Amino acid sequence: MTDTWIILGASSTIAKAFTRSVAQQGAAVILAGRRMDDLEANAADATARGAAQATPVAFDARRPETFDGVLHAALASGGRLNCAVFVGSMPPQAAIDADPALIDGTIADSFTGPARLLQMLAPHLAEQGSGAVVGVGSVAGDRGRLGNYVYGAAKAGFATYLSGLRNQLGRSGVHVLTVKPGPVDTAMIQGLGKQPFMTTAEAVVADIHTALRKKRNTLYTKRIWWPVMTVIKLIPEPIFKKMSI
Amino acid sequence: MSDDLITYAGWGRALRATGELRRAHDPASLKAHAPAIGNRRSYGDAALNSGGAAVEMTALDRVLAFDRDAGLLTVEAGLSLGEIIEITAPHGWLPAVVPGTGFATVGGAIAMDVHGKNHHHAGSFCQHVTALTLMQGAGPRRLTPADGALWRTTCGGLGQTGIITQATLSLMPVRGAMMLVTEQRARDWDEHIALLDGSDASFTVGWIDATATGATLGRGIVEEGEICRGIAPRLKAAKTVPFDAPHWALGKHVVKAFNAAYYHRVPKGGRSQVRALQDFFFPLDRVLAWNRLYGKRGFHQFQCVVPLGARDALRDMLGTITASGLASPLAVLKRMGPGRAGCLSFPMEGYTLAVDFPNRAAARSLIARLEAATTAAGGRIYLAKDALSSGAAIKSMYPEFPDWAKAARAADPEGALQTDLVRRLELRT
């Protein structure tokens, strides 16, 4: 049976690299996102690179009425279902300070939108008794930092959600992988200056496939972020609140 | 927009630029405010913009359409030719022209109108481009060969008419994805030229031992290739050069010994072998960052083409090179056909010679002499390789330069797309 990968946020740089990697293995891909022209180009690319089928579908994490369409397209493909979540948005903290209403969209993009879709998908995954969910969070979700704590809070919520989903679906043989990338050379961080321990989308995707093969639960990529975040998590709050890292 | 300044170099690493590199992630938001660059496989300063910005195109690398019946492939300009081979070869198609590195992007291949080992049959890269999209100041514009002057200014046009965002390539049908390679020794210049002239193979190229002097001047190996069917061995992972080599790594005696061994590796009577396509097309791509072998000062490649009748002048140039003792193992001789698509396209019917030199004062003055000899022979030098020439020399070698300059001015009146090469050679002034 061929695999079907639902790819949420399929226009993102990491999603594009992930789509190619599963296309080369002959999977069917459901490319879900907001920009149909871009998704159609990604679908053509996936087909040329070996995807059994590539279907662009309109999906907006902030509009739950779009979720059914994604699910239908995936079920119609007839393959074994898998889902990879690459949605998320990171408005500058200063913009959120100026307009607190931006919080709703940030939380919907990174947490509640994909969580609701995964919840709709969960019974189907449980029924097939196999398959995988890849949820991309961020090292920013490990601690509330001065520069991006709303984004971090959304990613933290999503990580906790994935941990629960793993607990549930793991019992039926479905693997849930939480990915926590540090800065990746993508459009999202363009303009933020030089970032520590930067990696590339291709390297993140290679790490994701290794982690899936080894059935890892949580993946830090680059791996250096695991010790770094472990230390950061250990800093006592009275000290951390005075730091700006 | 990022305000980080970074220092980057052409492939030869002798010329560098400090400026802003903006990676394009979304073709819809692309603006023709700065020149586009790809994988920076031009040797000199063609992909550099000192003090300004450059748009890095390699993230725009999607296949937009692949018609497996007609052999038409539409891609974004940041896709590399090596990747295209991997995508199309399993379906019986190949790019009709590939240069010596698979890392070259489609945008770069068009802007340099590159040629390959089959130039004598297939012509240049842009002769197989059926359409392209340019992002100009006023917005995107689709071009085809029917566009006349703008097409001929864009093909081989150094990216001066707009940012090339997409192109449609007419692919070549192939009956396999392997190469049957026949190698023969050429004992001297005359034999080398005779083997190149006499070759009726689809792909032909000569490696020249640029350290051989006297009676053995011009000796080398002539490689002929025919695409065939076979089972491809797994390509070994590419290796990399992790640091800048010391300057003596490619010193005179090392090169001489290497070249002698390389020459004698092929038996006297020649041999035929089946190789992977990539090994034949892109032998040096198996060693990533091989340009670091030349040390931190970098190197120059001199590449010229002279008309068929000027072969003796080319032999004399080779004599000058061997007498200097400065050459590296990388030296190539090839017969070219007349095919070219643009006003500034390099090819002309004749013989092309390419030789690498470490970047030293003696090599730079040698290259100046070789360039003068090229002009005297009615030939020209290749802008994808050049780092040292002058505007006056280049303009005399490219008779269609005035047409190019006029159309480039019309296409980019603000001069926003100028590069270090364009300024050095005063092509837009």
pLDDT tens for A119-155 read 999 999 999 999 999 999 888 888 888 888 999 999 9
Contact assignment for B64 to A45 by CB distance below 8 Å: yes
Least CB-CB distance to B64: which of A41, A49, A194? A41
Note whether B416 contacts A: Cβ–Cβ < 8 A.
Answer: no
Give the chain A residue whose CA is nearest to the CA of B2.
A191
Query: In degrees to the nearest 10, what's the CA dihedral of A230, A234, A237, A239?
Result: -100
Tokens of B274: 């089946």
What is the interface pTM, i.e. ipTM, of the complex? 0.87
- Chain A positions touching B3 (Cβ under 8 A) are 193
Phi, psi of A5 (to 5 degrees): -110, 120
Rounded distance, CA A61 to CA B250, Å?
58
Q: How crowded is residue B276: how many other Cβ atoms within 10 Å of its Cβ?
A: 17
Residue B192 CB burial class (10 angstroms; 0-12, 13-18, ≥19):
buried
Instruction: Tell whether B68 lies on the interface with A, counting CB pairs under 8 A.
Output: no
Which domains does chain A possess? Answer: 3-240 (3.40.50.720)
**A194–B4 C-beta distance less than 8 A:** yes
Torsion of CA B304, B307, B308, B314, to 10 degrees: -40
Q: E strand or H helix at A95, and its extent? A: helix A93-98
Mutant choice from B56, B63, B68, B165 vs A, greatest count of A C-beta within 10 A: B63
Q: How far is B46 from chain A, CA to nearest CA, in Å? A: 25
Neighbours of A65 (CB within 10 A): 7
Chain B closest-CA separation from residue A8 CA (Å): 18
Q: Would you give per-residue pLDDT tens digits along chain B (429 residues)?
A: 344 688 999 999 999 999 998 989 889 889 999 999 999 999 999 999 999 999 999 999 999 999 999 999 999 999 999 999 999 999 999 999 999 999 999 999 999 999 999 999 999 999 999 999 999 999 999 999 999 999 999 999 999 999 999 999 999 999 999 999 999 999 999 999 999 999 999 999 999 999 999 999 999 999 999 999 988 767 677 788 888 888 777 778 888 888 888 899 999 999 999 999 999 999 888 888 888 888 889 999 999 999 999 999 999 999 999 999 888 888 999 999 999 999 999 999 999 999 999 999 999 999 999 999 999 999 999 999 999 999 999 999 999 999 999 999 999 999 999 999 999 999 998
- Which of A11, A37, A45, A198 has the most B C-beta neighbours within 10 Å, making it the best mutation to test the interface with B? A45
Token digits of residue B5: 């300044």
Using CA coordinates, name the residue in chain A closest to B22.
Answer: A190
Domain ranges of chain B: 178-395
Closest by alpha carbon to A114, among A42, A152, A153, A64? A64
Q: Using CA atoms, how far apart are residues A113 and A63, in angstroms rounded to an integer?
A: 8
**Per-residue exposure over A197-221, b if at least 16 CB sit within 10 Å of its own CB, e if not:** eebebbbbbebbeebbeeebebbbb
For A149-154, which contacts have Cβ atoms below 8 Å and span 24 or more sequence positions?
A149/A93, A150/A91, A150/A93, A150/A96, A150/A102, A150/A103, A150/A106, A150/A107, A151/A88, A151/A89, A151/A90, A151/A91, A151/A106, A151/A110, A153/A107, A154/A88, A154/A106, A154/A107, A154/A109, A154/A110, A154/A111
Going by C-alpha positions, the residue among A160, A134, A129 that lies closest to residue A6 is A134
Give the residue from B22, B25, B64, B68 with the most A CB atoms within 10 Å of its CB, the best one to mutate: B25
pLDDT, position B1: 38
Q: Could you give the C-alpha distances from B128 to B23, B68, B71, B115, B365, in angstroms and in order?
A: 28, 16, 11, 11, 37
Separation of alpha carbons A39 and A29, rounded Å: 11
Q: Are A4 and A27 in contact (CB under 8 A)?
A: yes
The sign of the CA dihedral B393, B387, B112, A38 is negative
- Is the pLDDT reported for residue A63 higher than 50? yes
Residue A194 has pLDDT above 70, yes or no: no
- CB < 8 Å to B26, chain A: 38, 187
Torsion angles phi and psi, residue A129, rounded to 5: 70, 15
What does R_g of chain A's alpha carbons equal in angstroms?
A: 17
What is the distance between the alpha carbons of residues A108 and B353, in angstroms, rounded to a whole number? Answer: 61
Query: Which of the residues A190, A192, A194 would you substitute to probe the B interface, choosing the one with the greatest number of B C-beta atoms within 10 Å?
Result: A190
The class of domain B178-395 in CATH terms is alpha beta
Q: B62 to chain A: which residues are within 8 Å by CB?
A: 16, 41-42, 44-45
CA distance A15 to A181: 13
Q: Which of B1, B23, B66 sits opposite A48 (nearest CB)?
A: B66
pLDDT band at A190 (very low <50, low <70, confident <90, very high): low
C-alpha span between B104 and B39 (Å, rounded): 6
Query: CA-to-CA distance for B243 and B289, rounded, in angstroms?
Result: 9
Å between B415 CA and nearest CA of chain A:
25
Interface contact A19, partner B, CB < 8 A: no
Tokens describing residue A155? 């990613």
A113-128 helix and A67-77 helix, angle to the nearest 10 degrees: 30
What is the side-by-side strand order in the sheet with B53-56?
A: B5-9, B16-23, B53-56, B36-37
* Residue B375 pLDDT: 97
Contact (Cβ atoms closer than 8 angstroms) between residue B53 and residue B21: yes
- Number of helices and strands in chain B (H, E): 12, 21
Q: CA-CA distance, B285 to B298, in Å (whole number)?
A: 18
Report the distance separating Cα A96 and Cα A101, nearest Å.
Answer: 7
Contact B56, B22 (CB under 8 A): yes
Note whether B421 and B383 are within 8 A (CB): yes
The DSSP secondary structure of B216-259, one letter per residue, reads GTT-EEEEEEEEE--PPPPPPPPEE--SPPPGGGG-HHHHHHHH
